[in-house]
């Protein structure tokens, strides 16, 4: 599964520019599904039909990653930029970026007035090595992602875009491992989650599921002086109870816990103090959906070097397959 993860995390795919990632995933899922389509927003929707006795289930993992967008070009060829998604100034100075046309660059900063001055986006720029404005191959409106290669650290994996290509990889692997299921399962790879769950809003409306499960990352609170939360690397999939945007449906949460206990899968209960996932969009779609989230604890979320535990990933696949292989009673 590591090869799949590397392929997905290294691909270019900031919000609104998910086409490369979508094409990669489609190649993996199309032979395994009964129907595959792309909707008007760009969501990839792959349907695996059940035997007719189960429920209509939507699984969602977002393809997009955070990035930066060029807002101004000066005469010397330096690019001012805004953010796409939750990018923090303390995480990006000196980081290499990659544009959709292959152009690389690095993020620099004006000379600070004092050593104590905090980094701020209004003082930053992208340097692509151009001698002047006329030599540029990118301009206003072009979007870049961070450029960091996948690193296999053994038990731990590190890369940009673990959020949420790791969720996409879990869905692909679950589809590979899933035997005949009672449920009609919609594997939905969503767009524009990082800028407001936009792909999940429209795809959930179109799929109209009875049950929704998001696969995403959550903040690992196991580093020095971290926030007081329960999630840690290596302790199993995180079963969401609450985050900044939703309360998980009690029946879905209890189903996840019961399945993990039945299969002997280690798990953690997740109360995330801020942020949310595509499950929020599913939960509030149309007349409402019973929704929850399986999360992979991740260090350094929304940085160019996000870190996950490989066993957590594999156990997330096992948990999801276990849920889909049995009747869903909420």
CATH class of 67-146: mainly beta
Q: What is the pLDDT, as a whole number, of residue 85?
A: 97
- Is CATH 3.40.190.10 correct for 2-65+160-324? no
pLDDT-based confidence at residue 57 (cuts at 50, 70, 90): very high
Q: What mean pLDDT do residues 191-216 have?
A: 98
**The model's pTM:** 0.96
Q: Checking DSSP bridges between strand 184-190 and strand 143-146, what pairing results, if any? A: unpaired
- Residues forming CATH 2.40.30.40 domain(s) in the chain: 67-146
Look-up of token digits 């399962």:
185
Q: What mean pLDDT do residues 32-44 have?
A: 98
Say which residues have a Cβ less than 8 Å from residue 315's Cβ, sequence separation at least 6: 236, 237, 265, 266, 267
Concatenating the DSSP letter of every residue in 263-307 gives HT---EEEE-SS---HHHHHHTSTT--EEEEEEEEEBSTTSSSEE
Q: How many CB atoms lie within 10 A of CB 227?
A: 11
Mean per-residue pLDDT of the chain: 97
Q: Give the DSSP H/E element, type plus range, for residue 66.
A: none
Q: What mean pLDDT do residues 174-196 have?
A: 97
Using DSSP, state whether 108 is helix, strand or coil: strand
Q: How many CB atoms lie within 10 A of CB 195?
A: 17
Q: Residue 115 above 90 pLDDT?
A: no
Taken in order 259, 260, 265, 271, the sign of the CA dihedral is positive
Query: Lowest mean pLDDT: which of 12-21, 113-122, 182-191?
Result: 113-122
Q: What mean pLDDT do residues 85-113 have?
A: 94
pLDDT-based confidence at residue 117 (cuts at 50, 70, 90): confident
Of 303, 237, 310, nearest in space to 270 by CA: 237
> How far is Cα 94 from Cα 21, in angstroms, rounded to an integer?
26
Catalytic residue among 193, 194, 270, 306: 193
pLDDT-based confidence at residue 227 (cuts at 50, 70, 90): confident
Q: What is the pLDDT, as a whole number, of residue 116?
A: 83
CA dihedral 154→159→161→162, nearest 10 degrees, is 20
Active site includes 193?
A: yes
């Amino acid at each position: 599964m590591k090869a799949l993860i590397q392929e997905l995390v290294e691909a270019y795919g900031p919000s609104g520019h998910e086409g490369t990632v979508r094409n990669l995933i489609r190649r993996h899922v199309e032979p395994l599904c009964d129907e595959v389509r792309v909707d008007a927003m760009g969501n990839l929707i792959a349907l695996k039909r059940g035997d007719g006795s189960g429920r209509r289930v939507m699984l969602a993992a977002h393809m997009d990653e955070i990035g930066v967008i060029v807002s101004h070009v000066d005469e010397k060829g330096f690019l001012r930029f805004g953010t796409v998604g939750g990018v923090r100034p303390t995480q990006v100075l000196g980081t290499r970026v990659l544009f959709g046309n292959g152009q690389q660059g690095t993020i620099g900063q004006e000379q600070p007035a004092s050593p104590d001055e905090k980094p701020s986006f209004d003082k930053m720029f992208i340097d692509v090595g151009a001698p002047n404005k006329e030599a540029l191959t990118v301009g206003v409106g072009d979007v870049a992602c961070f450029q960091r290669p996948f690193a296999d650290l053994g038990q731990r994996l590190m890369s940009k875009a673990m959020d949420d290509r790791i969720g996409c990889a879990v869905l692909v692997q679950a589809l590979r491992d899933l035997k005949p299921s009672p449920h009609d399962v919609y594997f939905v790879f969503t767009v524009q989650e990082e800028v407001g769950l936009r792909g999940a809003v429209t795809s959930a409306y179109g799929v109209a599921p009875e049950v929704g499960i998001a696969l995403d990352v959550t903040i690992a609170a196991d580093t020095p002086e971290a926030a007081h939360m329960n999630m840690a690397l290596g302790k199993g999939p995180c079963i969401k109870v609450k985050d900044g945007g939703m309360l998980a449906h009690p029946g879905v949460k209890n189903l996840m816990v019961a399945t993990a206990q039945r299969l002997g899968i280690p798990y953690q209960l997740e109360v995330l103090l801020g942020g949310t996932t595509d499950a929020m969009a599913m939960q509030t779609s149309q007349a409402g959906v019973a929704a929850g989230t399986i999360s992979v604890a991740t260090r350094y979320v929304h940085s160019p070097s996000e870190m996950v535990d490989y066993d957590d990933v594999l156990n997330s696949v096992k948990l999801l397959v276990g849920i889909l292989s049995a009747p869903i009673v909420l």
